[in-house]
């Protein structure tokens, strides 16, 4: 919990500032990095390496099956905080900026396909601050599965060649990384950014 996001570079974004610096208590809420649940699991399996590797060392089976390494990492977690906001003349300042939305009293539970309920928020009354809590909503759940497979080719007694294939988002699962939180926008509550889709790269490394 805190009352401000971290400063973002030389220019300060609206999300990094208090909407009303005279009422910092109204800014108290979950930190922007507050992901309540996260699970990360990794694994690695090697079929055996070298003479004592125990992976069918002799014969064609040994040549085919040994020196393989399979690894992977699964990460899943709940969504990060969101703050519905509205662009308006900021009271007492004379400039237009981002202030938080106001609550209508309708349930904030989002309908299917949305991450925010547009009926639950409204623009603040002129000259007033929004009363929706900072970082009071939750964004999309997160999931990622990355994996790699390596084949080692011994070359003499000292040199090994490692050929590796790495893949991010192996299952090519669509997960959203951003949500439109601007009150009045026709896309309010809908995702506006996705995490990277499947990407595969290969590498060849010599070790001696």
What confidence category does residue 10 fall into, taking pLDDT thresholds of 50, 70 and 90?
very low
Report the residue count for the chain: 208
What is the rounded average pLDDT of the residues 21-44? Answer: 91
DSSP for 162-198 reads: EEEEEEESTT----EEEE--BTT-TTTTSEEEE----
Of the chain, the end-to-end C-alpha distance in Å amounts to 50
What is the rounded average pLDDT of the residues 157-171? Answer: 93
pLDDT(169) > 90: yes
Q: Residue 191 pairs with which residues in a beta bridge?
A: 179
What are the tokens at 116?
A: 């925010």
Taking only the tens place, the pLDDT of each residue in 62-100 is: 778 888 999 999 999 999 999 999 988 766 666 677 889
CA gap 148, 19 in Å, rounded: 46
pTM for the whole thing?
A: 0.75
């Amino acid at each position: 919990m805190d009352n401000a996001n971290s400063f973002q570079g030389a220019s300060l974004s609206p999300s990094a500032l208090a909407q009303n610096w005279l009422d910092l208590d109204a800014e108290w809420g979950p930190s922007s990095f507050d992901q309540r649940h996260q699970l990360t699991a990794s694994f690695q399996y090697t079929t055996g390496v070298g003479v004592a590797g125990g992976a069918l060392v002799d014969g064609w089976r040994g040549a085919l099956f040994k020196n393989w390494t399979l690894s992977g990492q699964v990460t899943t977690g709940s969504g990060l905080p969101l703050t519905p906001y509205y662009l308006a003349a900021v009271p007492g300042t004379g400039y237009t900026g981002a202030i938080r939305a106001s609550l209508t009293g309708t349930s904030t539970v989002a309908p299917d396909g949305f991450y925010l309920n547009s009926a639950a928020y409204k623009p603040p009354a002129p000259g007033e601050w929004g009363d929706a809590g900072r970082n009071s909503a939750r964004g999309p759940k997160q999931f990622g599965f990355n994996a790699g497979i390596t084949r080692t080719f011994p070359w003499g007694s000292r040199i090994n060649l490692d050929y590796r294939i790495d893949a991010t988002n192996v299952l090519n699962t669509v997960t959203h990384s951003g949500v439109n939180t601007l009150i009045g926008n026709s896309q309010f509550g809908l995702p506006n950014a996705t995490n990277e889709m499947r990407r595969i790269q290969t590498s060849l490394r010599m070790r001696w």
